[in-house]
């Protein structure tokens, strides 16, 4: 089976590639450049409002450095226990584009003619790109859909005291935000050592396992299970603000 990746230049992309490529060779990785901070903040402000965006920025500037320090040893432990490989993708395997929705992406897809496309850490993929091939697009989402779409699904499930939906989803891609047909889902086991930084590592490790199982079974047809239309417009979560994080850490003991 010929496999291609569409990816963002993130650590998760390299973890997925190295683990999957070892057993299921990936012919090419089309990697998009990150959105500029100015552009990202402008889009978030339009969607969420200035107050929320300021709170999110404060969380990134003041909260994340502390959380990363707290999680340093735990992250190493997860990587070691799950046999996740940190090596970067070979440059010879990468074709860079400004955006995953660039015309060049469509050209690469048509030239490669893959049987499956793995998506990892990109912005929302356009209908034009999705329709450039008959191959299915598969994505690891860090949350249990349809309940936790968007960002940091594991964290928000814990905040909502909803441990049964604290996990990861492997799904086919469509034009919505995490609304495609579900292939498989699995919960993660959170310990007292974990925090906001480590939840995504636990989810990624489980997600890679689901992807490996899916590739081994070679089930290319979308399953019957679909997200109902009324659920497609359900909750989409975003990064917490500094105030939200501190509040939930104090009141609900969610790190």
Average pLDDT over residues 171-194: 90
What is the model's pLDDT at position 104? Answer: 94
Give 127-176 pLDDT, tens digit per residue: 999 999 999 999 999 999 999 998 999 999 999 999 999 999 999 998 77
Q: What is the DSSP letter of 132?
A: T
3-state SS string for 140-161: EECCCCCCCEECCHHHHHHHCC
Q: What is the mean pLDDT of residues 22-46?
A: 84
Look at residue 233 in the predicted model and tell me its pLDDT.
Answer: 46
pLDDT at 48: 81
pLDDT tens for 41-90 read 777 777 788 899 999 999 999 999 999 999 999 999 999 999 998 889 99
pLDDT in tens, 192-251: 999 999 999 999 999 999 999 999 986 555 544 444 444 444 588 999 999 999 999 999
Q: What is the spatial order of strands in the sheet that 182-187 belongs to?
A: 94-97, 26-32, 3-8, 116-120, 137-141, 167-172, 182-187
- Three-state secondary structure call for residue 30: strand
Domain range enclosing 141: 3-252
Q: Distance between CA atoms of 219 and 221, rounded to whole angstroms?
A: 6
Going by C-alpha positions, the residue among 227, 211, 233 that lies closest to residue 20 is: 211
Q: 84-126 pLDDT, tens per residue? A: 988 899 999 999 999 999 999 999 999 999 999 999 989 889 9
Q: Where are the alpha helices (DSSP H) in the chain?
A: 11-23, 37-48, 50-58, 64-81, 103-112, 127-130, 153-159, 199-217, 229-232, 242-252
Q: Tokens standing for 132?
A: 């450039």
Residue 66: per-residue pLDDT: 96
Contact 3, 116 (CB under 8 A): yes
Domains contained in the chain, number: 1
User: Residues 199, 237: contact at Cβ < 8 Å?
Assistant: no
* Cα dist from 250 to 215, 227, 246, whole Å: 42, 34, 6
CATH number of the domain at 156, please.
3.40.50.12230
Q: How far apart are the first and last CA of the chain?
A: 41
- The vertex-235 CA angle with 231 and 239, nearest 5°, equals 150
Res. 190: pLDDT tops 80 = yes
């Amino acid at each position: 089976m010929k496999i291609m990746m569409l990816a963002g230049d993130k650590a998760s992309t390299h973890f997925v590639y190295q683990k999957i490529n070892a057993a299921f060779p990936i012919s090419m990785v089309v990697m998009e450049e990150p959105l500029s901070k100015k552009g990202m903040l402008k889009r978030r402000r339009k969607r969420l409002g200035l107050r929320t965006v300021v709170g999110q920025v404060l969380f990134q500037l003041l909260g994340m450095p502390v959380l990363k320090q707290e999680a340093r040893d735990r992250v190493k432990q997860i990587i070691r226990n799950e046999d996740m490989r940190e090596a970067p993708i070979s440059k010879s395997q990468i074709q860079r584009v400004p955006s995953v929705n660039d015309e060049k992406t469509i050209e690469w897809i048509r030239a490669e003619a893959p049987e499956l496309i793995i998506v990892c850490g990109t912005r929302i993929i356009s209908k034009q790109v999705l329709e450039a091939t008959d191959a299915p697009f598969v994505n690891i989402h860090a949350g249990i859909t349809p309940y936790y779409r968007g960002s940091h699904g594991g964290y928000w499930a814990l905040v909502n005291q909803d441990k049964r939906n604290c996990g990861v989803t492997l799904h086919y891609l469509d034009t919505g935000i995490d609304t495609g047909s579900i292939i498989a889902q699995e919960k993660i086991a959170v310990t007292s050592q974990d925090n906001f930084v480590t939840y995504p590592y636990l989810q990624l490790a489980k997600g890679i396992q689901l992807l490996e199982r899916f590739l081994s079974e070679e089930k290319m047809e979308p399953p019957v299970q679909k997200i109902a239309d009324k659920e497609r417009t359900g909750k989409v979560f975003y990064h917490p603000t500094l105030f939200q994080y501190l509040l939930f850490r104090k009141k609900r003991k969610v790190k």
